[in-house]
Amino acid sequence: MQLSEADLLAVERELCRRSLAEFAKRAWHVLEPAAELKWGWALDAICQHLEAVTNGEITRLLMNVPPGSMKSLLTGVIWPAWEWGPRGMPEMRFVGTAHEETLAIRDNRKCRDLIKSEWFQKLWPLELARDLDGKKEFGNVHKGFRQARAFTSMTGVRGDRVILDDPISADNANSAAKLEEARLAFTETLPTRVNSERSAIVVVMQRLNEKDVSGVIMDMGLPYVHLCIPMRFEPARRCTTSIGWSDPRQVEGELMFPERFGEGQVSELEKTLGSYGAAGQLQQRPAPRGGGIIKEAWFRYYTALPRLEFRTIHADTAQKTGEENDYSVFQCWGRSVTGEAVLVDQLRGKWEAPELVVQARAFWHKHKAAEGAPLRSMMVEDKVSGTGLIQTLRREGIPIVPVQRSKDKLSRGYDAAPFIESGNVLLPQDAPWLSDLLAEASTFPGGAHDDQLDPMFDAIQNVQAAPAPKPQAAAPIPMASPFRRK
């Protein structure tokens, strides 16, 4: 017997009512019409736990999953539409929040577009409120609404479902100020944004720091059901939740979502992120602070200077010259023809302002006169003693680039670590100051001094930001291959 169109629609409505995953698969063509849907068991797990929130089994849910896992689309876009349509709960009020309001607005608009779509309205006719139809909030005639707010600016909104999606960005994950700002917003503001004791809070995020919001939830022992899906399976950390779900993988290292993230892609991500980034963003277990951010074994060494594309001088000037204060440091760095950052030379000392100018000038002219790759500029932090140095040397015609460091030193150390770990930083094997530099690097951020690391972090950022090197002919002079130090 051939089913009528009405029968087919009834079947589709019932399938979607029973399963958020089935609804998501059917809604995909509306949200991403040009992209192929790839589905895996991890997405089923997210859907099952959101269904448990809908059914009243869970009122506090924390989901830690790697980036690219459809977490925002499933949680902030598809789930609200599912409750309003297939589950017949149009009175539900949603507040969606993220570290940036633009991201919260993005998901708000996608949810509104899905509900307004011809496909959705044909199956679940739902009249939207004409007087509440903006990019930051929209509603329906049953008094349900969905609002978008920045995580730290949630005053004046309340919901039956509060969705917190990535409360802190990867760029700010190691900023003590941003972590504290997120902690205060989560502990003091977010709990007051729910309508009643039956309302739910859903936190969905990748781990970025042991003190991020997930860390706060676990350290405080808050009653959140915790769904944790690392990219690679770790048997000792198998996740099992209160609704009876358990990570189905059996083999250590087995991938979470091979349909979307294959072995080659994951290996490349692990190399790009470095051990600390991969531990947090991929494995959902960020390494604690307190040292070991940069390991001595990660550096490579040379005895004959590699062929360079260009050179720059990076300076870090101390404010005072007391025994307990940091040194002023000048480093000459080059970018090799294969893209590595190569430390050529270093000058370090404690100098008052007049002597600081003398030392900077001499270091510049020393390397300007050296043969080889062009010396482009001297980059100096535009702060305190560095500002005076910039003004003086500019008047002498030296190309000075003022540097404004927008991140704290710890954050910049985490940013530089993957590049160093990948073997892309070369140091001179026989330099007399090498041991002091390595000691600072290996004890950072707990060491007594870190003055040599600031210009190194600047140089690494500069090398990475430069255009990709052009293919080069073989070097015309003999050169020892860079090696790892034993």
DSSP 333-394: EEEETTS-EEEEEEEEE---HHHHHHHHHHHHHHHHSSSSS-EEEEEEE-STHHHHHHHHHH
Lowest-pLDDT range of 63-77, 280-294, 353-367: 280-294
Is residue 453 within 8 Å of residue 441, measured between CB atoms? yes
What is the pLDDT at residue 54? 98
Say whether pLDDT at 384 is over 80.
no
Lowest-pLDDT range of 144-158, 274-288, 313-327, 415-429: 313-327
Encode pLDDT of 30-79 as tens digits.
Answer: 999 999 999 999 999 999 999 999 999 999 999 999 998 999 999 999 99
What is the pLDDT at residue 133? 83
Encode pLDDT of 180-190 as tens digits.
Answer: 999 999 999 99
**296-484 is classed in which CATH architecture?**
2-Layer Sandwich (3.30)
Instruction: Give the residue from 188, 417, 202, 383 showing the smallest Cα distance to 299.
Output: 417
The CATH 3.40.50.300 domain(s) of the chain lie at 5-224
Could you tell me the two tokens for 269?
Answer: 């991500």
Of 475 and 287, the structure prediction assigns the larger pLDDT to 287
Distance CA 211, CA 208 (A): 8
Cα-based angle 64, 69, 75 (whole degrees, multiple of 5): 70
Name the average pLDDT for the chain. Answer: 90
Give 408's pLDDT tier (boundaries 50, 70, 90): confident
Give 276's pLDDT tier (boundaries 50, 70, 90): confident
Fold designation for 5-224 = Rossmann fold (3.40.50)
- Number of residues in the chain: 486
CA 237 to chain centre: 23
Q: Assign 296 to helix, strand or coil.
A: helix
Encode pLDDT of 97-149 as tens digits.
Answer: 999 999 999 999 999 999 999 999 999 999 999 988 888 999 999 999 999 99
What is the pLDDT at residue 5? 85
Residues 6 or more apart in contact with residue 20 via CB below 8 angstroms: 47, 48, 50, 51, 54, 74, 78, 79, 82
Q: Assign 201 to helix, strand or coil.
A: strand
Is residue 169 within 8 Å of residue 100, measured between CB atoms? yes
Give the pTM: 0.72
What is the pLDDT at residue 321? 52
**What percentage of the chain reaches a pLDDT higher than 70?**
93
Please report, as a single letter, which amino acid is at residue 182.
A
Phi, psi of 213 (to 5 degrees): -60, -40
Distance CA 118, CA 116 (A): 7
What is the pLDDT at residue 233? 94
The CATH 3.30.420.240 domain(s) of the chain lie at 296-484
Give 336's pLDDT tier (boundaries 50, 70, 90): very high
Instruction: Give the residue from 347, 358, 343, 357 showing the smallest Cα distance to 308.
Output: 343
Is residue 115 within 8 Å of residue 77, measured between CB atoms? no
Q: Across residues 234-252, what is the average pLDDT?
A: 94
Give 156's pLDDT tier (boundaries 50, 70, 90): confident
What is the pLDDT at residue 470? 61
